[in-house]
Amino acid sequence: MMKKSHPKICLVIPVFNEGSHILHSLKRIEEEVIKVTLNYEIIVVDDGSTDDTWMKLSEDKGVLPNNLFVIKFSRNFGKEAALVAGLEHANGQAVIIMDADLQHPPSLISEMVNRWKDEDIGIVECVKRERGKENLRYRLGTKLFYWIVRRMTGYDLKGASDYKLLDQKVVHAWKQMPERDTFFRGMTAWLGFKKVQYEFNVSPRVNGEPKWSTPKLIKLALNAVVSFTSLPLRFVSILGFLFFIAAIFLGIHTLYQKFNGNALTGFTTVILLQLIIGSVFMISLGVIGEYISAIYKEVKGRPRYLIENTVVSEVVTYEKEAEDLNAEFVKV
């Protein structure tokens, strides 16, 4: 498919408590987008911010970038839900997903778009070359997270970021995944399609703190594993099988001892067995429980997010802009 010189690009930006710099970030991002196309739309999803983010995005329309569509959630649903909302509302020949804190360098936008325009690429993904300054707890947390995901699901997401360009056909395919609990990075890995990667250095946050608390990260890791593989359930069966083999041998041994009149010894073994089997049982139940709770969430079929309000900034259509440009061109 031939792509026009001004393809429609839609940017999706999830935002949570970024009030101090959101307008600056959006301006900066808009500056980069207009280098490649005048036909763009910016969708910002305010994920239930508790600071002045919404005020900044709704009060003074004069300072907003053009073609901005802001969706405000009724509460904090999490970045994943914000991405879902953005993608569901996006319509463009390509959609770019990026963070609001400028850690995803906007300067890459033109490269991504040009590459996508020239070749028949489904997904342009930006991978982190090195992470910006982050504290030790966070670094260890993310390391452990990627390790678990890789071991369990086989998808190596190390360095993967949510900074991606998706062709409209990929967005269409993505929309066919109906799960309630989404994990965007994993889902795009599962989709397939032709991919290219760009490396980037994570710049420091413009302002504010990262929004991932430890419980939030643990929840994301659990989601990632539970939604992509049933391997842990198989571990439970394997463990059960191993215990069964051990039980046969120990059973024979015990009976043998009894018939020989040595039945009273072996208390330590009994206690150890109780402890080991007890904990393995509980862990196994926990694993099964994780899957049941995932099924429960899916079965309830609740909406993935709720919209409380929306705001649209000045819409500058591409045709108008193009005419203006032509007019200037004629003048010169």
CA gap 198, 277 in Å, rounded: 49
Cross-strand pairs, 312: 69
If binding means CB under 5 A, how many residues of this protein chain bind Mg ion?
3
Assess 207 for contact with ligand UDP (CB under 6 A). no
Assess 101 for contact with Mg ion (CB under 5 A). yes
Tell me, residue by residue from 4 to 23, as one string, x for binding to Mg ion by CB under 5 A and - for no binding.
Answer: --------------------
Quick one: which of 10, 11, 12, 15 contacts ligand UDP (CB under 6 A)? Answer: 15
CA gap 199, 129 in Å, rounded: 6
Which token pair is 244? Answer: 């069964």
Quick one: which of 211, 226, 228, 304 contacts ligand UDP (CB under 6 A)? Answer: 211
Q: Tell me phi and psi for residue 53, to 5 degrees.
A: -55, -50
Nearest one of 176, 185, 178 to 223, comparing CA atoms: 185
Assess 47 for contact with Mg ion (CB under 5 A). no
Strands 307-312 and 68-73: antiparallel
47 binds, among Mg ion, ligand UDP, none (CB under 5 to 8 A by kind): ligand UDP
Quick one: which of 7, 65, 78, 92 contacts ligand UDP (CB under 6 A)? Answer: 78
Assess 100 for contact with ligand UDP (CB under 6 A). yes
Which token pair is 140? Answer: 């260890």
Tell me, residue by residue from 224 to 263, as one string, x for binding to Mg ion by CB under 5 A and - for no binding.
Answer: ----------------------------------------
CA gap 154, 134 in Å, rounded: 26
For helices 136-153 and 214-228, what crossing angle results, to 10°? 10
Q: Which parts of this chain interact with ligand UDP (CB under 6 A)?
A: 14-16, 18, 47, 76, 78-79, 82, 99-101, 103, 210-212
